[in-house]
Amino acid sequence: MSFEGPEGARAEALSPDAAAPVGTEAPEGGSSGREGEPQPEPPPVYRGADLLVEVLKEEGAEMLFGIPGGATINFYDALYNSGIPYVLARHEQGAIHAADGYARISGKVPVVTGTSGPGSTNLMTGIANAWFDSVPMVIIAGQVSTSVMGTDAFQESPIFSMTMGITKHNYQLMRGEDMPRVVKESFYLARTGRKGPVLIELPKDMTSNEIPYRKPVEMQLRAYNPKPKIDRALVEKVKRDLARAKRPVIVAGAGIVHAGASELLRAFVEKARVPVVHTLLGLGTLPSDHPLSLGMGGMHGTVWANMALHECDFLLNIGSRFDDRLTGALEHFAPRARIAHVDIDEAELGKVIAEDYPIHGDAREALEILLDGAVDPSPSEEWLAYLESLRREYPLWYRTDRPYLQPQRVVQIASELASDDVIVVTDVGQHQMWVAQFFRFRRPGRFVTSGGLGAMGFGLPAAIGAQIADRDALVLAFVGDGGFQMTVQELILLREYDLPVKVLLFNNNSLGMVRQWQELFYEERYSATLFNIQPDFMRLADAYGVVGRRVKTEEEARAVLEEAFRTRAPYLIEFVIDPMANVLPMVPPGNGVHEMEGVKPQ
Amino acid sequence: MKQLLALKVNDHPGVLHRITGLFLRRGFNIATITVGACEEPGVSRMTILLEVADERVKDQVRKQLAKQVDVLEVEDLTERDAVTRELCLVRVEAPLKMRSDLQSLIQPFRAQLIDVGFETVVVEVTGSPAKIDALLDLLRPFGVLEIVRTGLAALPRERQTGNGRAALKEGRGVEV
Ligand SMILES: Cc1ncc(C[n+]2csc(CCOP(=O)(O)OP(=O)(O)O)c2C)c(N)n1
């Protein structure tokens, strides 16, 4: 546990060395059926809340994010001396996005709690976010007592059915005896196979009742197989056919990050001489300046990445689910290619594209097989030279003809000044795409963004979680003025938990990404996208006790970023950017990825 | 095209909801769905008949179901030899003087009367959906008042290893 709490009232709850919960010795019971013992000893009995804390500890739950309430008050009471630190957010959405950022950086499974009714409904966006991006977490959603469930009791909401479609699995815990098993299964499901959020609906009486505890607990996951046996022969066939392809390309998705297989990817592509298109969440699997990295493909991808997708004759997708933001119009996607797809989730195979080589398995295992033995380089030098020529002819660009600070420039400067192990977090919108385009990612697994759901409000809390997971890293949170205001209240956590996050706020006085679409596709009819009035962000920084800086020029940008990066304090840096800056190039909706607009300055 | 699936699922609250919810979300179109206890305690069997667009969707349906933690087995019976049955109850207008006509009409269907009143009777029939449709067509002229159908229940047939005739002799593998 590297988490250190601040001094004061909360320090006790945050201290990892605090005493064990009163009245709960380490559970030992259940040694039933031992020889010479006619009667098994009755199992020890715990208050449900204490038992829950014990089993959470057994599962290695090290960090808890949430807000308490009536339905979870017993649980929080049991936490009081438990040594499990918690982060008290200011909104449940903040708590769960923080847990999300924590999970992505630490690789651990955080616990998120919300009380019954509004507490758990406030978690919904964060649950869906974790679901879409396969982020492991266990959510404990309080519920009214079983005796009044279903009566529309005070603060009741049908959280079990509400979250069925956005969790990997969920449980309604109706019998205390099931608690140890359910918690154990939840952690196991969250962190194995295709990772994801698992929710436990916890009626209040489950925390107040006395529960007998028998150990060990058998899991009842009879049909669940997180480690599918990969079709080795098929992967070997992919290897052979890839080596023969004239215009091969690899699509690197988040599955590689989840499998911790970025190094293997790099080793393989260097030997096989295959260029790599990254998905948004796959950015960083190769360093951005690696000669075989084509950057991001898709709607706001680079020209050379998208032409690689369009003109390839062999496409190997490892760990991406062919999201429509990547593929563009499907009828134009990789029209001449044989397609191989490795995915840990069998249901992703054939979902979007009918692959020629559907490979059900882990990205790491697939890459190990690909690397096994000699790797023949594909005859692709001409192909690489062609893509390189596109890179030279159509580089990413931004406007230089306007008297405003260009956001892309800010991203570049931040990227230049940042250390290699920087953690980059974004919210959702134009700034997210500028970061994806212009930031040079140097290490894998250090880019935290809301990919699948695209949830505004994600950035600041996720950065908080990321910084908690890695206290020493430089954490940059790029946010737009719109999304920032959705979870702005979490700023106080930077002070409370001593988190030196640098918030880089791109103020364009609008919901920029939507405004861009209105400009390009709706005849500049800016319906509900321009902010008429904004808060004074500098006074806001002041109010929350973080350092505030307002920046209007490139020179100021550099100076302020330098200052912020060397200061161990939280910063809110407002960049007053060109209000008309757009994310280009762009594949207009409905087009194939080769039909991009804005590839060159007008 | 049709797809017929046999599932074994955990007999937990909410499992049917989980599966129908999945179908709704993914846009799979259920024709019928039946659930009930099976030979294993704590496990239910579901039979689902779906209308699907093509083989791809068919494959997707199977994988999406198999991915559910509460789904223990998924068997696609569409192409397999399976016995399928549906139960139908139908209330028919049947004044006393019409009863014998009705009786003789339903007999070849091995249907029976399970409730008899002065004005109406309830006919019970099991069989393939086509057979039930045929019987319903015959009953319509009498005046059909209420119909309830269960949807399909299905089990794969025993995989026959020897030739069919030997199986027949032994009385195995024959639909009765
Ligand atoms: C919760 C939520 N609401 C609405 C949207 C739709 N949306 C996508 S981008 C965007 C604009 C974001 O504006 P801002 O946060 O200012 O960032 P910018 O695009 O200006 O960088 C909106 C409204 C969303 N993604 N998430």
Write the DSSP assignment of A341-379 as a string of letters.
EEESSGGGTTTSS--SEEEES-HHHHHHHHHSS--PPPS
Q: Between A172, A174, A347, which is nearest B67 by CB?
A: A347
Say yes or no: B26 contacts chain A, CB-CB below 8 A.
no
Tell how far the Cα of A425 is from the centroid of ligand 1, in angstroms: 15
Per the CB < 8 Å rule, is A346 touching B71? no
Q: Kindly list the residues from chain B whose CB atom is less than 8 angstroms away from the CB atom of residue A350.
A: 56, 59-60, 63
Which of B80, B113, B129 corresponds to the end of one domain? B80
Tell how far the Cα of A482 is from the centroid of ligand 1, in angstroms: 6
Q: In percent, how much of chain B has pLDDT > 90?
A: 85
User: What pLDDT sits at residue B161?
Assistant: 52
Q: Is A12 a catalytic residue?
A: no
Residues B132 and B74 in one domain: no
Per the CB < 8 Å rule, is B21 touching A350? no
**A15 pLDDT tier (thresholds 50, 70, 90):** very low
A132 CB near ligand 1 (under 6 Å): no
- The answer to whether residue B175 is domain-embedded is no
Residue B53 — φ and ψ, nearest 5°? -75, -45
A488 contacts: CB under 8 Å, gap ≥ 6: A460, A540
Q: Is the pLDDT of residue A434 over 60?
A: yes
- The answer to whether residue B118 is domain-embedded is yes
Nearest to A204 by CA among A113, A77, A74: A74
Residue A259 — φ and ψ, nearest 5°? -85, 0
Q: Is A154 a catalytic residue?
A: yes
Residues B18 and B75 in one domain: yes
**A165 pLDDT tier (thresholds 50, 70, 90):** very high
Q: Which residue out of A162, A307, A433, A513 is catalytically annotated?
A: A513
Q: Would you give the distance in Å from CA A299 to the centre of its chain?
A: 20
User: What pLDDT sits at residue A322?
Assistant: 97
**A315 pLDDT tier (thresholds 50, 70, 90):** very high
**A215 pLDDT tier (thresholds 50, 70, 90):** confident
Tell how far the Cα of A530 is from the centroid of ligand 1, in angstroms: 12
Residues B37 and B98 in one domain: no
Residues B60 and B99 in one domain: no
**A323 pLDDT tier (thresholds 50, 70, 90):** very high
A580 CB near ligand 1 (under 6 Å): no
Residues B72 and B104 in one domain: no
Q: Is the pLDDT of residue A9 over 70?
A: no
Residues B10 and B67 in one domain: yes
Cβ(A399)–Cβ(A581) below 8 Å: yes
Q: Is A506 a catalytic residue?
A: no
Residue pointed to by tokens 């994801």? A196
Range of the domain at B90: 83-154
Q: How many domains does chain B have?
A: 2
How does pLDDT run across A98-140, given as a tens digit for each residue?
999 999 999 999 999 999 999 999 999 999 999 999 999 999 9
Cβ(A183)–Cβ(A121) below 8 Å: no
DSSP A13-50: HH-TTPPPPTT-PPP----TT-TT-SSPPPPPEEEHHH
Query: Mean pLDDT over all residues of chain B?
Result: 91
CB atoms within 10 A of CB A310: 20
Cβ(A329)–Cβ(A355) below 8 Å: no
Cβ(A481)–Cβ(A299) below 8 Å: no
Q: Which helix (H) or strand (E) holds A75?
A: helix A73-79
Cβ(A131)–Cβ(A167) below 8 Å: yes
Using CB atoms within 10 A of its CB, is residue B101 exposed (0-12), middle (13-18) or buried (19+)?
exposed
- The answer to whether residue B165 is domain-embedded is no
Say yes or no: B20 contacts chain A, CB-CB below 8 A.
no
Overall pTM surpassing 0.90 (yes/no)? yes
Cα torsion A205, A210, A211, A213: sign: positive
User: What pLDDT sits at residue A40?
Assistant: 72
A74 CB near ligand 1 (under 6 Å): no
Mean pLDDT, residues A259-280 = 98
Cβ(A278)–Cβ(A256) below 8 Å: no
Q: Is the pLDDT of residue A273 over 50?
A: yes
Which of A129, A408, A428 best tests ligand 1's pocket when mutated (most atoms within 8 Å of CB)?
A: A428
Query: Mean pLDDT over all residues of chain A?
Result: 93
Residues B146 and B89 in one domain: yes
Q: Is the pLDDT of residue A272 over 90?
A: yes
**B158 pLDDT tier (thresholds 50, 70, 90):** confident
Q: Is the pLDDT of residue A534 over 70?
A: yes
- The answer to whether residue B174 is domain-embedded is no
Could you tell me which residue, B79 or A131, shows the higher pLDDT? Answer: A131
Per the CB < 8 Å rule, is A347 touching B72? no
Tell how far the Cα of A299 is from the centroid of ligand 1, in angstroms: 16
Q: Kindly list the residues from chain B whose CB atom is less than 8 angstroms away from the CB atom of residue A223.
A: 66, 69, 71-73
**B160 pLDDT tier (thresholds 50, 70, 90):** low
Mean pLDDT, residues A89-97 = 98
Say yes or no: B41 contacts chain A, CB-CB below 8 A.
no
Q: Kindly list the residues from chain B whose CB atom is less than 8 angstroms away from the CB atom of residue A172.
A: 13-14
Ligand 1 atom closest to the Cα of residue A511 is: 13
A482 CB near ligand 1 (under 6 Å): yes
How does pLDDT run across A561-597, given as a tens digit for each residue?
999 999 999 999 999 999 999 999 999 999 999 999 9
Give the span between the Cα atoms of A222 and B22, in whole angstroms: 20
Q: Is the pLDDT of residue A426 over 90?
A: yes
Residue pointed to by tokens 């509900």? A528
Domains of chain A: 45-212 (3.40.50.970), 232-394 (3.40.50.1220), 407-576 (3.40.50.970)
Residues B88 and B57 in one domain: no
Q: Is the pLDDT of residue A3 over 70?
A: no
Give the span between the Cα atoms of A462 and A45, in whole angstroms: 38
Q: Is the pLDDT of residue B33 over 70?
A: yes
Which of B80, B98, B114 corresponds to the end of one domain? B80
Using CB atoms within 10 A of its CB, is residue A17 exposed (0-12), middle (13-18) or buried (19+)?
exposed
Structure tokens that stand for A553 in this block: 């020029």
Q: Among A1-5, A51-55, A92-96, A552-556, whose mean pLDDT is lowest?
A: A1-5
Residues B112 and B143 in one domain: yes
Which of B60, B80, B100 corresponds to the end of one domain? B80
Residues B72 and B87 in one domain: no
Write the DSSP symbol of residue A166: G
Residue B132: give its domain's CATH number: 3.30.70.1150
- The answer to whether residue B121 is domain-embedded is yes
DSSP chain B: -EEEEEEEEE--TTHHHHHHHHHHHHT-EEEEEEEEE-SSTTEEEEEEEEE-SSHHHHHHHHHHHHHSTTEEEEEE-SSS-EEEEEEEEEEEE--GGGHHHHHHHHGGGT-EEEEE-SSEEEEEEEE-HHHHHHHHHHHGGG-EEEEEEEEEEEEEPPPP-S-HHHHHHTT-S---
Q: Among A17-31, A56-70, A444-458, B114-128, whose mean pLDDT is lowest?
A: A17-31
Per the CB < 8 Å rule, is A164 touching B56? no
Cβ(A467)–Cβ(A270) below 8 Å: no
Per the CB < 8 Å rule, is A350 touching B14? no
Q: Which residue out of A41, A154, A393, A600 is catalytically annotated?
A: A154
Residues B53 and B111 in one domain: no
Mean pLDDT, residues A360-375 = 97
Tell how far the Cα of A331 is from the centroid of ligand 1, in angstroms: 28
Q: Is the pLDDT of residue B176 over 60?
A: no
Mean pLDDT, residues A432-456 = 98
Residues B8 and B73 in one domain: yes
Residue B11: give its domain's CATH number: 3.30.70.260
Q: Is the pLDDT of residue B102 over 50?
A: yes
Mean pLDDT, residues A503-518 = 98
Q: Kindly list the residues from chain A whose CB atom is less than 8 angstroms away from the CB atom of residue B66.
A: 223, 346-347
Say yes or no: B22 contacts chain A, CB-CB below 8 A.
yes
The shortest C-alpha distance from A131 to chain B (Å) reads 14
Cis peptide before A585 (omega within 30 of 0): yes
Say yes or no: B73 contacts chain A, CB-CB below 8 A.
yes
Q: Is the pLDDT of residue B163 over 80?
A: no
Structure tokens that stand for A161 in this block: 């059915």
**A5 pLDDT tier (thresholds 50, 70, 90):** very low
Per the CB < 8 Å rule, is A160 touching B18? no
- The answer to whether residue B22 is domain-embedded is yes
CA distances, A283 to each of A22, A155, A259, A397, A503 (Å): 47, 42, 14, 19, 21
Q: Kindly list the residues from chain B whose CB atom is less than 8 angstroms away from the CB atom of residue A224.
A: 69
B98 contacts: CB under 8 Å, gap ≥ 6: B142
- The answer to whether residue B170 is domain-embedded is no
Q: Which residues of A touch B (CB under 8 A)?
A: 160-161, 164-165, 168-169, 172, 174, 189, 220-224, 345-347, 349-351, 354
User: What pLDDT sits at residue A213?
Assistant: 84
* A-B contacts (CB, under 8 Å): 43
Q: Kindly list the residues from chain A whose CB atom is less than 8 angstroms away from the CB atom of residue B21.
A: 161, 164-165
A459 CB near ligand 1 (under 6 Å): no
Q: How many helices (H) and strands (E) does chain A have?
A: 24, 20
Instruction: Please report, as a single letter, which amino acid is at residue B76.
Output: D
